[in-house]
A and B are shown apart, each in its own frame.
Chain A
Amino acid sequence: MHTKKLSEMITDLRNKKISSVELTTHYLNRIEKLDKKYNSFITVSHQEALESAQKADKLLSQNSANLNALTGIPLAQKDIFCTMGIKTSCGSRMLDNFISPYNATVVEKCSQAGMVMLGKTNMDEFAMGASNETSFYGPVRNPWDTSCVPGGSSGGSAAALAARLCPLATGTDTGGSIRQPAAMCGLTGLKPTYGRISRYGMIAFASSLDQAGPMGFSAEDAALFLNVIAGFDEKDSTSIDNPVPDYMQDLNNNLEGLKIGLPKEYFAESLDAEIGKLLQDAIKIYEKLGASIHEISLPNSALAIPVYYVVAPAECSSNLSRYDGIRFGHRAENPRNLLDLYERSRGEGFGAEVKRRILTGTYVLSAGYYDAYYLKAQRIRHLIRDDFIKAFEKVDVILGPTAPGTAFPIGAKVSDPVSMYLADIYTCAINLAGLPGISVPVGFKQHLPIGMQLIGSYFREAQLLNVAHRYQQQTDWHLRVPEGI
Chain B
Amino acid sequence: MPVTAQDINRTAHLAKLRIDEGEIPAYVRNLNNLLKLVDDMSRVNTDNIDPMSHPMEGQTQRFRKDNITEENQRELFQTIAPQVTEGLYIVPKVIE
Binding site for B on A (CB under 8 A): 97-99, 101, 194-195, 208-209, 234, 237-238, 240, 300, 302-303, 305-307, 309-310, 317, 321, 324-328, 331, 335-344, 346-348, 350, 352, 355-356, 358-360, 362-363, 366, 372-373, 375-383, 385, 416-418, 421, 431-435, 458
Task: Please state if B92 and A327 are interface contacts (CB–CB under 8 Å).
Answer: no
Alpha-carbon gap, A416 to B36, bound state (A): 14
Give, as a whole number of angstroms, the nearest-CB distance from B77 to chain A: 6
Task: Please state if B51 and A421 are interface contacts (CB–CB under 8 Å).
Answer: no
Interface string of B51-94 (1 = CB under 8 A from A): 11111100101101000000001001111111100000101111
For A306, the chain B residues whose CB sits under 8 A away are: 37-41
Given A302-B40, A434-B56, A341:B31 Cβ within 8 A: no
Task: Please state if B37 and A418 are interface contacts (CB–CB under 8 Å).
Answer: yes
Alpha-carbon gap, A305 to B64, bound state (A): 36
Task: Please state if A359 and B76 are interface contacts (CB–CB under 8 Å).
Answer: no
Task: Please state if B92 and A432 are interface contacts (CB–CB under 8 Å).
Answer: no
Which of B18, B53, B92 is A343 in contact with, Cβ under 8 Å? B18
Which of A101, A433, A435 is B76 in contact with, Cβ under 8 Å? A101
Alpha-carbon gap, A324 to B78, bound state (A): 15
Given A240-B56, A341-B92, A356-B31, A366:B37 Cβ within 8 A: no
Q: Residue of A at shortest CB range from B62?
A: A237
Alpha-carbon gap, A417 to B12, bound state (A): 19
Alpha-carbon gap, A67 to B61, bound state (A): 34
Task: Please state if A378 and B11 are interface contacts (CB–CB under 8 Å).
Answer: no
Q: Residue of A at shortest CB range from B64?
A: A234
Alpha-carbon gap, A382 to B57, bound state (A): 10
For B30, the chain A residues whose CB sits under 8 A away are: 356, 417-418
For B79, the chain A residues whose CB sits under 8 A away are: 101
Task: Please state if B14 and A338 are interface contacts (CB–CB under 8 Å).
Answer: no
Task: Please state if A378 and B52 are interface contacts (CB–CB under 8 Å).
Answer: yes
Alpha-carbon gap, A101 to B91, bound state (A): 22
Which of B37, B44, B56, B94 is A338 in contact with, Cβ under 8 Å? B94
Alpha-carbon gap, A310 to B52, bound state (A): 13
Task: Please state if B56 and A347 are interface contacts (CB–CB under 8 Å).
Answer: no
Give, as a whole number of angstroms, the nearest-CB distance from A240 to chain B: 7
For B92, the chain A residues whose CB sits under 8 A away are: 335-338, 340-341
For B80, the chain A residues whose CB sits under 8 A away are: 97-99, 101, 327-328
Task: Please state if A307 and B12 are interface contacts (CB–CB under 8 Å).
Answer: no
Alpha-carbon gap, A347 to B92, bound state (A): 18
Give, as a whole number of angstroms, the nearest-CB distance from A429 to chain B: 11
Binding site for A on B (CB under 8 A): 3, 7-8, 11-12, 14-20, 23, 27, 30-31, 33-34, 37-42, 44, 46, 49-56, 59, 61-62, 64, 73, 76-83, 89, 91-94
Task: Please state if B15 and A360 are interface contacts (CB–CB under 8 Å).
Answer: no
Alpha-carbon gap, A39 to B20, bound state (A): 30
Task: Please state if A379 and B52 are interface contacts (CB–CB under 8 Å).
Answer: yes
Task: Please state if B55 and A360 are interface contacts (CB–CB under 8 Å).
Answer: no
For B31, the chain A residues whose CB sits under 8 A away are: 356, 359-360, 363
Task: Please state if B46 and A380 are interface contacts (CB–CB under 8 Å).
Answer: yes
Q: Residue of B at shortest CB range from A234?
A: B64
Task: Please state if B16 and A346 are interface contacts (CB–CB under 8 Å).
Answer: yes
Most chain A Cβ neighbours within 10 Å, of B52, B64, B79, B89: B52
29 CB contacts below 8 A, A to B, read: A97-B80, A99-B80, A101-B77, A208-B55, A302-B40, A303-B41, A305-B37, A309-B34, A310-B38, A328-B80, A338-B94, A342-B16, A347-B18, A347-B20, A360-B31, A360-B34, A366-B11, A373-B41, A375-B51, A380-B49, A383-B46, A385-B55, A416-B33, A417-B30, A418-B34, A421-B34, A431-B55, A434-B54, A434-B56
Q: Residue of A at shortest CB range from B76?
A: A101
Task: Please state if A378 and B38 are interface contacts (CB–CB under 8 Å).
Answer: no
Give, as a whole number of angstroms, the nearest-CB distance from B15 to chain A: 4
Give, as a whole number of angstroms, the nearest-CB distance from B80 to chain A: 5
Task: Please state if A358 and B40 are interface contacts (CB–CB under 8 Å).
Answer: no
Give, as a whole number of angstroms, the nearest-CB distance from A236 to chain B: 9
For A458, the chain B residues whose CB sits under 8 A away are: 56
Q: Residue of A at shortest CB range from B32?
A: A418
For B15, the chain A residues whose CB sits under 8 A away are: 317, 321, 346, 358-359, 362
For B53, the chain A residues whose CB sits under 8 A away are: 208, 378
Given A306-B38, A359-B8, A382:B51 Cβ within 8 A: yes
For B91, the chain A residues whose CB sits under 8 A away are: 326, 338, 341
Task: Please state if B89 and A347 are interface contacts (CB–CB under 8 Å).
Answer: no
For A327, the chain B residues whose CB sits under 8 A away are: 77-78, 80-81, 89
Task: Please state if B41 and A310 are interface contacts (CB–CB under 8 Å).
Answer: yes
Alpha-carbon gap, A328 to B77, bound state (A): 9
Most chain A Cβ neighbours within 10 Å, of B61, B62, B76: B62
Alpha-carbon gap, A275 to B79, bound state (A): 52
Give, as a whole number of angstroms, the nearest-CB distance from B74 to chain A: 11
Give, as a whole number of angstroms, the nearest-CB distance from B84 to chain A: 9
Q: Residue of A at shortest CB range from B18?
A: A347
Q: Residue of A at shortest CB range from B56?
A: A434
Which of B19, B54, B81 is A208 in contact with, Cβ under 8 Å? B54
